[in-house]
Amino acid sequence: MSPTKQKLLSTASKTFSKYGFYKTSMDEIAKSARKAKGSLYYHFNSKELLFREVVLSELTFLKEELTLIFENHDADSREIIRAYMIKRMEVMNISINYQETLRPEFYEFYEFLNDVILEMDQWEKQQITEILNRGVVKEELDLPGNIEVYAEMLLIFLKGLETPLFLKGQYERLISNFDNLIGILTKGISKV
Amino acid sequence: MSPTKQKLLSTASKTFSKYGFYKTSMDEIAKSARKAKGSLYYHFNSKELLFREVVLSELTFLKEELTLIFENHDADSREIIRAYMIKRMEVMNISINYQETLRPEFYEFYEFLNDVILEMDQWEKQQITEILNRGVVKEELDLPGNIEVYAEMLLIFLKGLETPLFLKGQYERLISNFDNLIGILTKGISKV
Amino acid sequence: MSPTKQKLLSTASKTFSKYGFYKTSMDEIAKSARKAKGSLYYHFNSKELLFREVVLSELTFLKEELTLIFENHDADSREIIRAYMIKRMEVMNISINYQETLRPEFYEFYEFLNDVILEMDQWEKQQITEILNRGVVKEELDLPGNIEVYAEMLLIFLKGLETPLFLKGQYERLISNFDNLIGILTKGISKV
Amino acid sequence: MSPTKQKLLSTASKTFSKYGFYKTSMDEIAKSARKAKGSLYYHFNSKELLFREVVLSELTFLKEELTLIFENHDADSREIIRAYMIKRMEVMNISINYQETLRPEFYEFYEFLNDVILEMDQWEKQQITEILNRGVVKEELDLPGNIEVYAEMLLIFLKGLETPLFLKGQYERLISNFDNLIGILTKGISKV
DNA sequence: GATGAATGAGTTTTCATTCAT
DNA sequence: TATGAATGAAAACTCATTCAT
Instruction: State the DSSP code for C144.
Output: -
Integer CA distances (angstroms), A15 to A28, A97, A168, D150, in order: 8, 10, 16, 59
Q: How confident is the model at residue D163 (pLDDT cuts 50, 70, 90)?
A: low
D109 touches chain C (CB under 8 A): yes
C48 touches strand F (CB under 7 A): yes
Nucleotides of F under 7 A from a protein CB: 1-20
Q: Is D148 an interface residue toward C (CB < 8 Å)?
A: no
**Integer Cα distance of C113 and C120 in angstroms:** 11
Instruction: Inspect the interface and report whether the beta carbons of C159 and D180 lie closer than 8 Å.
Output: no
pLDDT tens column, D69-95: 988 888 898 889 888 888 887 887 777
Contact C133/D at CB under 8 A: no
Q: Give yes or no for CB of B24 within 7 Å of strand F.
A: yes
Say if CB D160 and CB C163 are below 8 A apart. yes
The confidence score (pLDDT) of residue C167 equals 47
pLDDT digits 0-9 by tens, A105-155: 666 555 677 788 778 888 998 999 999 999 999 988 888 778 887 887 787
Letter for the amino acid at A41? Answer: Y
Assess contact for B38 and B4: CB atoms under 8 A.
no
**Which residue in chain C is spatially nearest to D108 when comparing CA positions?**
C19
Largest CA distance in chain B: 63
pLDDT digits (tens, 9 = 90+) for A165-178: 444 556 666 666 67
Is the pLDDT at B192 greater than 70, yes or no? no
Q: How confident is the model at residue C149 (pLDDT cuts 50, 70, 90)?
A: confident
* H or E, element range at D11: helix D3-23
Percent of chain A exceeding pLDDT 70 equals: 84
Q: Which nucleotide is nearest to B27 (CA to C1')?
A: F11
Buried-state track B82-112, b at ≥16 Cβ within 10 A, e below 16: bbbbeebbebbbebbbbbbbbbbbbbeeeee
Amino acid identity, position B169: G
D142: left (phi over 0), alpha (psi -120 to 50) or beta: beta
Q: Which one-letter amino acid corresponds to residue A115?
A: D
> Residue A96 has what pLDDT?
77
Cβ neighbours for D23, distance < 8 A, ≥ 6 positions apart:
C22, C105, C108, C109
**Other C-beta atoms lying within 10 Å of the C-beta of residue C185:** 24
Q: How confident is the model at residue A180 (pLDDT cuts 50, 70, 90)?
A: confident
Distance B38 CA to E6 C1' (A): 8
B54-72 residue pLDDT tens: 999 999 999 999 999 988 8
- Interchain contact C81–D (C-beta under 8 A): no
Over residues D138-161, the pLDDT tens digits come to 999 888 778 887 887 788 777 766
**C1' of F21 to CA of C5 (Å):** 21
Q: Please state at what angle helix A147-160 crosses helix A77-92, rounded to 10 degrees.
A: 40
What is the structure's pLDDT at D167? 47
Task: Of B26, B29, B23, give the one whose Cα is nearest residue B7.
Answer: B29
Torsion over CA: B173, B174, B175, B177 (sign): positive
C-beta of residue D112 within 8 angstroms of C-beta of residue D54: no
pLDDT of C165 reads 42
**For C174-179, which contacts have Cβ atoms below 8 Å and span 24 or more sequence positions?**
C174/D152, C174/D153, C174/D156, C175/C89, C177/D146, C177/D149, C177/D152, C177/D153, C178/C85, C178/C86, C178/C89, C179/C82
| Neighboring chain D residues of C184 at a CB cutoff of 8 Å | 150, 153, 185, 188-189
Residue D190 carries which DSSP code? B
Q: How many residues does chain A have?
A: 192
Which range is most confident: B188-192, C17-21, D181-185? C17-21
C168 vs D107, D162, D188: nearest CB: D107
Is B179 in CB contact (< 8 Å) with chain A?
no
pLDDT: which is higher, D52 or C108: D52
- Average pLDDT score over residue span A1-10: 94
pLDDT at A188 over 80: no
DSSP helix/strand/coil, D103: coil
C188/D184 Cβ within 8 A: yes
- Exposure class string for A95-113: b at 16+ Cβ within 10 A, else e: bbbbbbbbbbbbbeeeeeb
The neighbouring-strand residues paired with A190 are A141
Tens of pLDDT, residues D17-70: 888 899 999 999 999 999 999 999 999 999 999 999 999 999 999 999 999 998
Q: B15 vs chain A: nearest CA distance in angstroms?
A: 11
Helices (H), B24-167: 26-33, 37-44, 47-70, 77-92, 96-100, 104-109, 111-137, 147-160, 164-167
A191 touches strand E (CB under 7 A): no
CA–CA separation, A56 vs A16, rounded Å?
13
Strand partners, D190: D141
Residue environment code for A153-174, b if the CB has 16+ CB neighbours within 10 A, otherwise e: bbbbbbbbbbbbbbbeeeeeeb
Stronger pLDDT, A69 or C153, i.e. the higher one: A69
Mark yes or no for CB contact B102/A153 under 8 Å.
Answer: no
Those residues whose C-beta lies under 8 Å from the C-beta of residue B41, and which sit 6 or more positions away, are B26
In chain C the domains, ranked by start, together with CATH numbers, are 1-45 (1.10.10.60), 52-189 (1.10.357)
Band (pLDDT 50/70/90 cuts) for residue B148 is confident
Calculate helix-pair angle for A77-92, A47-70, nearest 10 degrees: 150
Instruction: In whole angstroms, give the CA distance from residue C118 to residue C135.
Output: 26
- Please name the residues in contact with D83: beta carbons below 8 A apart, sequence gap of 6 or more: D69, D72, D75
